[in-house]
């Protein structure tokens, strides 16, 4: 049967064969399809490694309060704007991401208290064989879109095919590797993952958004589209003004309100999101009582700015919350697509001149810790740890990809004496540059007659202050760095097209590194518009480390692969690491509350819309 299928495929072409196979899958009884492996068993959840922590009869997530009152209005603010209501195409950055989860939901829902586990939502159960080569989702027969039409297997298959051809880069990459997807009946969908060697693939499919086959506009899916999407979530969009305002109202007939993964969540009747020019404008909106919640990102403002009347009279509350998530990476990123930054010794010398000790003391009141790893404050960080035998075995295939001091765990970002003018560090940087062939000509650093001059793209005054200090430090060794502020629209356009020399880049942390690394460091992401490969990084060593990470069969293998990846990235000096604080600094209206338990691994502090919070003035349930 298999050999005959391959022969037919060669004769009639892949596209026609795929269509024929789909027709056969629809027409044949389930028994005529490839048998589900005998090792597969029905379960309530998926975990990357081991078993989900919660039992199949769990009542709610531990960070949700099931008795939270429903009602009230939540007013939020965000910097920038939006031009589309489609967060799943290649231009997803132009859409408000809060649509995800609130309006458009997925087969299963991720627990924010576990590194990587998913539980029932649209799919009420799942089957997965031990080799993770076949995964079958059983849809909840109660599942409905907000227009009350049922969610069927055909909608799941439609979503899969649409996202595979027109979706986000990560969707296209992973879905293209799926061998086949078939509907076994109206409420059962099976994916064949044979040969993928990616343990995360079943979880990515479980997190796939389910779109309506009947209403989705395939022809315009690639475009910036302000059409309000039909979703299956607890909210519907009631108002959308491009670039300015988005309003979501609770769906009183939300089908999933009694599902354990939804219990205690989505408690506000209305969520209003207004867009502001910059962080300063957002802070003024909080002070004026125009928004109900703000996460503070400026240590200086956190230390000295929160003394306004609403806070003094108790209308606004200031809180520090501490999740257990890794810290991720933020820093000045070099764009290696520009010839000026191709020499790693120049990048290292530039990074040496970032005076964290002076900046932390004078800008941030000593509140920050220097970032030393791409997976900081987690088991996946390599800094301070000598490479294991497994790491060395992987890295031995790529001589020179990792420096000896980084391999042995001895490397740290250069420490300054705190004076703001550490001469010893400047001398070390100058010596490194001289060895690389750079010379000082009339006080300007140059190589082969070309001076080292570049622009730092920034978007607000906080970034400007940091960039100006960094530029002043670089000037001491003859490098001319010119900070330039762009408005939000220009900034995002240039970022998407990689039209910058240097910028401040940030990657939100993943509790378990995985597929997201492809879009950050894989060679295939180098020139893909809208990828997160801000540095223009590409090497066989990076690709191999990511492949090893994705193929990991247990947490030990995953840690070894992630640490190897960390060492390669650190050795490449793609970033000038900045600083972090492993806490959420927030201020919010006193009338909104949250559960006592903070999620351990939130991708964002509390999702985009405070899903676990509620209004004290709302009606009891």
What domains appear along the chain, each with residue ranges and CATH number? 1-33 (no CATH), 37-291 (3.40.190.10), 329-580 (3.10.105.10)
Candidate from 103-107, 166-170, 380-384 with smallest mean pLDDT: 166-170
d(CA 183, CA 442): 72
Angle of helix 423-435 relative to helix 344-352, nearest 10 degrees, comes to: 170
Task: Decide if pLDDT at 520 tops 70.
Answer: yes
Q: Under DSSP, is residue 90 helix (H, G, I), strand (E, B) or coil?
A: coil
Return left, alpha or beta for 153; rule: phi > 0 is left, psi -120 to 50 is alpha, else beta.
alpha
- The mean of the pLDDT values for the chain is 90
pLDDT at position 604 is: 61
Q: What is the mean pLDDT of residues 328-337?
A: 94
b/e per residue 320-331 (b: at least 16 CB within 10 A): eeebebbbbbbb
529-560 pLDDT per residue, tens:
778 899 999 999 999 999 999 999 899 999 99
pLDDT at position 324 is: 72
pLDDT at position 25 is: 34
Candidate from 21-25, 415-419, 434-438 with smallest mean pLDDT: 21-25
96-124 pLDDT per residue, tens:
999 999 999 999 999 999 999 999 999 99
The CA distances from residue 471 to 404, 444, 453, 481, 559, in Å, are 30, 13, 11, 5, 36
pLDDT at position 365 is: 86
d(CA 351, CA 356): 11
Q: What is the mean pLDDT of residues 325-330?
A: 83
pLDDT at position 94 is: 87
Task: Decide if pLDDT at 478 tops 90.
Answer: yes
Structure pTM? Answer: 0.81
The pLDDT confidence band at residue 39, using thresholds 50, 70 and 90, is low
């Amino acid at each position: 049967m298999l050999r005959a299928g391959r022969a037919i495929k060669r004769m009639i072409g892949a596209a026609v064969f795929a269509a024929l196979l789909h027709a056969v899958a629809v027409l044949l009884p389930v028994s005529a399809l490839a048998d589900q492996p005998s090792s597969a068993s029905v379960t309530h959840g998926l975990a990357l490694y081991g078993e989900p922590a919660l039992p199949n009869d769990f009542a709610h997530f531990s960070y949700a309060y099931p008795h939270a009152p429903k009602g009230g209005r939540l007013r939020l603010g965000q910097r920038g704007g939006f031009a589309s209501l489609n967060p799943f195409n290649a231009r997803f950055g132009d859409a408000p991401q809060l649509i995800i989860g609130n309006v458009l939901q997925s087969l299963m829902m991720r627990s924010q208290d576990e590194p990587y586990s998913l539980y029932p939502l649209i799919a009420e159960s799942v089957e997965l064989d031990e080799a993770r080569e076949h995964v079958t989702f059983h849809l909840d027969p109660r599942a409905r879109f907000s227009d009350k039409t049922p969610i069927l297997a055909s909608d799941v298959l439609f979503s899969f095919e649409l996202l595979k051809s027109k979706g986000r880069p990560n969707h296209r990459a992973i879905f293209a590797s799926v061998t086949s997807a078939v509907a076994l009946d109206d409420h059962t969908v099976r994916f064949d993952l044979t040969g993928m060697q990616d343990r995360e693939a079943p979880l990515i499919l479980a997190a796939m958004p389910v779109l309506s086959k009947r209403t989705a506009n395939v022809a315009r899916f690639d475009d910036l589209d302000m059409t309000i999407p039909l979703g299956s979530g607890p909210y519907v969009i009631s108002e959308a003004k491009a670039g300015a305002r988005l309003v979501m109202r609770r769906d009183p007939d939300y089908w999933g309100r009694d599902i354990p993964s939804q219990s205690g969540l989505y408690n506000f009747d209305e969520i209003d999101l207004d867009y502001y020019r910059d962080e300063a404008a957002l802070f003024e909106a909080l002070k004026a009582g125009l928004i109900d919640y703000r996460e503070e990102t400026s240590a200086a403002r956190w230390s000295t700015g929160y003394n306004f009347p609403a806070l003094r009279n108790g209308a606004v509350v200031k809180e520090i919350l501490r999740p257990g998530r890794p810290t991720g990476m933020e820093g000045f990123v070099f764009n290696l697509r520009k010839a000026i930054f191709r020499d790693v010794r120049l990048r290292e010398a530039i990074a040496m001149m970032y005076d964290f000790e002076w900046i932390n003391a004078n800008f941030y009141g000593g509140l920050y810790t220097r970032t030393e790893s791409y997976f900081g404050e987690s088991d996946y960080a390599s800094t301070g740890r000598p490479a294991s035998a497994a790491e060395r075995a992987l890295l031995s295939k790529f001589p020179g990809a990792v420096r000896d001091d980084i391999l042995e765990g001895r490397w740290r970002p250069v420490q300054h004496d705190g004076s703001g003018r550490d001469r010893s560090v400047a001398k070390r940087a100058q010596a490194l540059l001289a060895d690389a062939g750079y010379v000082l000509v009339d006080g300007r650093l140059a190589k082969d007659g070309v001076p080292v001059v570049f622009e730092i793209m920034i978007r607000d005054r906080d970034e400007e202050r940091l960039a100006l200090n960094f530029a002043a430090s670089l000037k001491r060794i003859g490098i001319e760095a010119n900070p330039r502020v762009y408005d939000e629209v220009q900034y995002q356009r240039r970022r998407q097209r990689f039209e910058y020399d240097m910028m401040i880049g940030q990657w939100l942390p993943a509790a378990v590194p995985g597929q997201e690394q492809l879009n950050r460091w894989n060679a295939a992401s180098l020139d893909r518009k809208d990828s997160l490969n801000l540095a223009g990084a590409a090497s066989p060593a990076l690709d191999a480390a990511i492949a090893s990470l994705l193929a990991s069969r247990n947490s030990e293998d995953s840690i070894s692969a992630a640490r190897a990846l960390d060492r390669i990235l650190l050795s490449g000096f793609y970033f000038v690491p900045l600083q972090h604080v492993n806490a959420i600094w927030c201020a919010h209206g006193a009338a909104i509350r949250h559960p006592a338990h903070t999620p351990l691994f939130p991708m964002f502090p509390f999702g985009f819309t405070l899903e676990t919070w509620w209004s004290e003035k709302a009606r009891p349930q």
